[in-house]
Amino acid sequence: MKKQFIIPGLLVMALMCFSFISFVDDSYYSKANPTLSKNSFNDMKACIDACSNCAAMCNYCSSMCLKEKNVDAMSRCIQLNMECAAVCKAASQLMSLGSEDYKEMCRLCAQICKKCGDECSKHKNMEHCQKCAEACYQAAELCKKM
């Protein structure tokens, strides 16, 4: 096959996927999990966003902690950041799938986010830890509401 046909074909496929994703709304989640109402769908979207943000901030924070002069002193923070990022990704994945089990994952996510936020907030002289703590507490609060 020639290159001139492959590139436009890939673009068309990408646009079709994007169009499908943009049509996914509360009816998709309601069908996947009939217990969801429109309000809980909006809450879920906010929680997915908070969890995604928290995962990104935790990854950034752990990366920055590894660059600190005394990395050994940051080992607990780094470990909790990695755990928090993993559980936030899992929670947002289950919510976006409309899983029946998302509430259990959100409960665990809230616990780990709080633990990570508490650890990060101890490092007052590190801006990345303070921003991470904020993101962790935000995700924890929204996950509790799920």
> pTM for the complete prediction?
0.75
Total count of residues recorded for the chain = 146
Q: How many CB atoms lie within 10 A of CB 81?
A: 30
First to last CA, the chain: 50
pLDDT digits (tens, 9 = 90+) for 27-79: 554 555 555 555 477 888 999 999 999 999 999 999 999 999 999 999 999 99
Helix (H) or strand (E) holding 129: helix 127-145
Domains of the chain: 40-145 (1.20.1270.360)
What is d(CA 115, CA 103) in angstroms, rounded to the nearest whole number? Answer: 19
pLDDT attached to residue 17: 41
pLDDT attached to residue 32: 53
**By C-alpha distance, which of 68, 113, 117, 66 is closest to 88?**
113
Is the per-residue pLDDT at 144 higher than 70?
yes
Are 146 and 106 in contact by the 8 Å Cβ rule? The answer is yes
Is the per-residue pLDDT at 1 higher than 60?
no
**By C-alpha distance, which of 53, 45, 134, 43 is closest to 88?**
53
